[in-house]
Amino acid sequence: MKLDDIPVRLATAPDPLDSFRWPNADYTRTPYRVFTDEAIHEREMARIFRGPTWNYLALEAEIPEPGCFKTVQVGNVPVVVSRTPQGEVAAFVNRCAHRGATVVREEFGRADNHPCIYHQWNYDSAGSLCGVPYRRGLNGSGGYPADFKPAEHGLQRLRVALYKGLIFGSFSEDAPDLIEYLGPNIVMHLDRIFVKPVKVLGYHRQRISANWKLYFENIKDPYHAGLLHTFMATFGVYRSTQRGNTLLSPGGGHAVVYSVTQTDDAAGVREAYKGTTNKYQADFELAHPQLLEWTPDFHDGIGNLIISVFPNLVVHQILNTLATRQVRPLGTGGLELYWTYFGFEDDAAERTEARLRQLNLVGPAGYISMEDGEAIRLVQQSIAGERDASSFIEMGGRGPIVDADHVVTEVCTRGLWQQYARTMGFEPEVAR
Ligand SMILES: [Fe+2]
């Protein structure tokens, strides 16, 4: 018997996660294990970020001209998003098809092609291989085999879809049409914000010592904001006493939460904050009240609005500040949050100045954003090694995951877990 005739059987060990199930059907509990388990993290990278989802990559305004590029991250995969000579948007994995080195090392730039420093394999702005040194050898020696075809060795491309100047990418042919993926509530509110061409004003990058999903939980939960963020409550940027809405996408994974400014009154606020220690400081005044001067861009009274799109995009409008936030996982216990601030192309200089002044509200050290990083770090710190316990998510009630006409609710957080569990294969038995 020759070696080739011996049948080879690869043993496939059962995946221990195949028996992992959500503990209840309405997602009012979340097992802490999902924030720390390495195997779950690996499955997230494959099934979520490289699965049938649309990941936010960048704004078109960041790569306006042919050759402009930006390096980003989808899950744990480095990606380049780039404008081709034809003016199209392309996205490709930033890892040389030869031996795996990072090809594009700059965060931004403009270039006709991208040579890898290691062996000078050279790629065009769509990621196709356009040059290979020593392809036919040197002085009759070496070279690639005669059947080497550069067209078969380009950088891995992502599908790209654009909406209102936002660029999304997907690794999967199974991701639905982008508009269908987003759903009507998200589309409606993206339409509201991206109503005309935008102008990028700047960036923040911050690292938070917490799992990426803890940030997504945080951003979907309006009820923490009036309690954790003293500045918000005290100066009325946001309070749970304000009129607002909580809107979900059909699968629950995306959400819009907003509040309408000045829809509460002093007596109601005092009553609501009675007993909360130091969260509402009625006698505080700002030394520079122009910080909160607000010239509305939209005429609906909404002063605070957060759109979240599973798995990696947040868009906010807080008074005059506008930004996208890209969530970049860094292992189980960390994330990078990448903020892109923008205004509109036709903004007058004073409007741009006001937006930049109000940046003090947001970002890593913002008066109303800095506490979020610390709050979720405290969660990550206290759940290390926890295999069985779950969090408790019942503000706003149990049962169906549906829109609410107020902001005193954690229903969007439950929606996130519903979509997460479906994508990961963790649905509770009863829901299957
Ligand atoms: Fe917050």
- Rounded to whole angstroms, the Cα distance separating 358 from 322 reads 10
Residue 214 has pLDDT above 70, yes or no: yes
Residue 429 pLDDT: 83
Report the pLDDT averaged over residues 180-207: 98
Residue 236 pLDDT: 79
CA dist 274 → 223, 242, 330, 402 (Å): 16, 16, 40, 30
- Rounded to whole angstroms, the Cα distance separating 330 from 81 reads 20
Rounded to the nearest angstrom, the distance between the alpha carbon of 362 and the centre of ligand 1 is 10
The answer to whether the Cα torsion of 73, 182, 127, 202 is positive or negative is negative
- Higher pLDDT pick, 318 / 264: 318
Rounded to the nearest angstrom, the distance between the alpha carbon of 358 and the centre of ligand 1 is 16
- Rounded to whole angstroms, the Cα distance separating 432 from 429 reads 5
User: What's the first-to-final CA gap in the chain, in angstroms?
Assistant: 49
Rounded to the nearest angstrom, the distance between the alpha carbon of 228 and the centre of ligand 1 is 7
Residue 162 pLDDT: 98
Report the pLDDT averaged over residues 103-122: 98
Rounded to the nearest angstrom, the distance between the alpha carbon of 219 and the centre of ligand 1 is 6
Vertex 93 angle, CA 166 and 213, to 5°: 60
Q: Going from the N-terminus, what domains does the chain have, and what CATH number goes with each?
A: 55-161 (2.102.10.10), 178-429 (3.90.380.10)
Cβ-contact 428, 23 below 8 angstroms: yes
Residue 345 pLDDT: 98
Mean pLDDT estimate for the chain: 93
* pTM value > 0.85: yes
Rounded to the nearest angstrom, the distance between the alpha carbon of 343 and the centre of ligand 1 is 22
Residue 19 has pLDDT above 80, yes or no: yes
Provide the percentage of residues in the chain whose pLDDT is more than 90.
82
Rounded to the nearest angstrom, the distance between the alpha carbon of 376 and the centre of ligand 1 is 10
Lowest-pLDDT choice from 8-17, 197-206, 245-254: 8-17
279: phi then psi, degrees, rounded to nearest 5: -95, -25
Rounded to the nearest angstrom, the distance between the alpha carbon of 21 and the centre of ligand 1 is 29
- Higher pLDDT pick, 5 / 384: 384
- Higher pLDDT pick, 47 / 8: 47
Residue 14 pLDDT: 79
Residue 1 pLDDT: 53
The answer to whether the Cα torsion of 61, 65, 69, 74 is positive or negative is positive
Rounded to the nearest angstrom, the distance between the alpha carbon of 223 and the centre of ligand 1 is 9
Q: What is the pLDDT of residues 353-404, one digit of tens each?
A: 999 999 999 999 998 889 999 999 999 999 998 989 999 999 999 999 999 9
Q: What is the pLDDT of residues 396-408, one digit of tens each?
A: 999 999 999 999 9
If pLDDT is split at 50, 70 and 90, which confidence band does 3 have? low
Rounded to the nearest angstrom, the distance between the alpha carbon of 122 and the centre of ligand 1 is 44
Surrounding residues of ion ligand 1, Cβ less than 5 A: 225, 372
Residue 263 has pLDDT above 70, yes or no: yes
Residue 2 has pLDDT above 70, yes or no: no
Rounded to the nearest angstrom, the distance between the alpha carbon of 325 and the centre of ligand 1 is 13
